[in-house]
C-alpha cells in the first residue's frame, strides 16, 4: 500500500464569487481524489521503485511480516504441531498394536508347537503300547497253542501206548495161536496152551 499526499487547491469562497461550489475547477487546479493536476497524465517511476515511498513500503513490510509471523505462531504452527502429534500418536499406537499382535502370534506358534510335540509323544506312546500289547497277546497265544499241542501230544502218546500195549497183547495171542497151528500141522498133534505161551514168552525175551 502506498501513500500519496494530495495537493489541495485553494477554494474560493462561494459567497465571494457568487458561483456554485460544484462548478468545474479552474485550469491548473489539482484533482482532490487522485492528486494529479487536471489535464495532466500520471508521470513518474514505478511506485515500488519510488524512493519517496520506501518508508511506507518498509513499514507495511514489517506489519505484513509481523501479521504473518503471528498467524504462523498462533494458528498454522499449532495446527501443524497438533497434526504431527496426532500422526505420531497414531503411529505409536499402530506399532504397539503390531507388537501385541506379533507377541500373540509367537505365543500361538509356541502353543501349536507344544501341542504338536505332545501329540507326537502321545502317538508314540500309543504305538509303543499297541506294539507291546500285540507282542504280549502273540506270546500268550503262542503259549496257549504250545500248551494245547503239548496236551494233544501227551494224549496221542497215551493213545499210542494203549494201542501198542493192545497190539502187543494181540501179537502174543496171535503168536500162541499161530504156534499151536504150526505144531498141529507139523506133527499132527495138539500142544498144551501153557507150553505154547511159555515158548512165545521165551521168544519175546530173546528178541
Distance CA 163, CA 139 (A): 35
Q: How confident is the model at residue 42 (pLDDT cuts 50, 70, 90)?
A: low
Q: What is the mean pLDDT of the chain?
A: 75
Kindly report which listed range (26-35, 73-82, 163-172) carries the lowest average pLDDT score: 26-35
Q: What's residue 162's pLDDT? A: 84
Summarize the confidence of residues 96-115 as an average pLDDT: 93
Q: How confident is the model at residue 194 (pLDDT cuts 50, 70, 90)?
A: low
pLDDT at 188 over 70: no
Distance CA 171, CA 178 (A): 10
C-alpha 68: how far from chain center: 55
Q: What's residue 65's pLDDT? A: 93
- Burial class, 172, CB count within 10 angstroms (exposed 0-12 / middle 13-18 / buried 19+): middle
Q: What's residue 191's pLDDT? A: 61
Cβ 189 vs Cβ 183: under 8 Å: yes
Which comes out higher in pLDDT, residue 115 or 33?
115
Distance CA 94, CA 170 (A): 111
Q: Most confidently modeled of 73-77, 175-179, 198-202?
A: 73-77
Distance CA 86, CA 65 (A): 29
Q: How confident is the model at residue 111 (pLDDT cuts 50, 70, 90)?
A: very high
Q: How confident is the model at residue 24 (pLDDT cuts 50, 70, 90)?
A: very low
Q: Which DSSP string do the residues of 89-146 spell out, in sequence order?
A: HHHHHHHHHHHHHHHHHHHHHHHHHHHHHHHHHHHHHHHHHHHHHHHHHHHHHHHHHH
The pTM score is: 0.36
Distance CA 53, CA 59 (A): 10
Q: Most confidently modeled of 121-125, 187-191, 203-207?
A: 121-125
Kindly report which listed range (7-16, 34-43, 65-74) carries the lowest average pLDDT score: 7-16
Percent with pLDDT over 70 in the chain: 61
Contacts of 9 (CB under 8 A, 6+ apart): 25, 29, 30, 32
Contacts of 34 (CB under 8 A, 6+ apart): 6
Percent with pLDDT over 90 in the chain: 32
Amino acid at each position: 500500500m502506498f501513500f500519496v499526499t494530495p495537493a489541495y487547491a485553494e477554494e474560493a469562497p462561494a459567497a465571494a464569487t457568487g458561483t456554485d461550489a460544484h462548478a468545474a475547477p479552474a485550469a491548473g487546479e489539482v484533482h482532490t481524489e487522485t492528486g494529479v493536476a487536471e489535464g495532466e497524465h500520471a508521470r513518474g517511476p514505478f511506485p515500488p521503485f519510488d524512493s519517496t515511498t520506501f518508508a511506507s513500503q518498509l513499514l507495511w513490510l514489517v506489519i505484513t511480516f509481523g501479521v504473518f509471523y503471528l498467524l504462523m505462531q498462533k494458528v498454522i504452527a499449532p495446527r501443524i504441531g497438533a497434526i504431527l502429534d496426532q500422526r505420531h500418536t497414531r503411529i505409536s499406537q499402530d506399532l504397539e498394536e503390531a507388537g501385541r499382535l506379533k507377541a500373540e502370534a509367537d505365543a500361538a506358534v509356541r502353543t501349536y508347537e507344544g501341542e504338536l510335540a505332545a501329540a507326537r509323544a502321545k502317538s508314540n506312546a500309543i504305538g509303543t503300547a499297541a506294539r507291546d500289547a500285540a507282542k504280549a497277546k502273540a506270546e500268550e497265544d503262542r503259549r496257549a497253542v504250545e500248551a494245547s499241542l503239548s496236551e494233544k501230544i501227551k494224549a496221542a502218546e497215551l493213545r499210542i501206548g494203549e494201542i501198542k500195549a493192545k497190539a502187543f497183547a494181540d501179537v502174543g495171542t496171535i503168536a500162541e495161536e499161530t504156534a499151536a497151528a504150526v505144531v498141529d500141522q507139523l506133527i499132527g498133534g495138539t500142544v498144551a496152551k501153557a507150553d505154547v505161551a511159555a515158548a512165545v514168552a521165551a521168544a519175546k525175551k530173546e528178541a
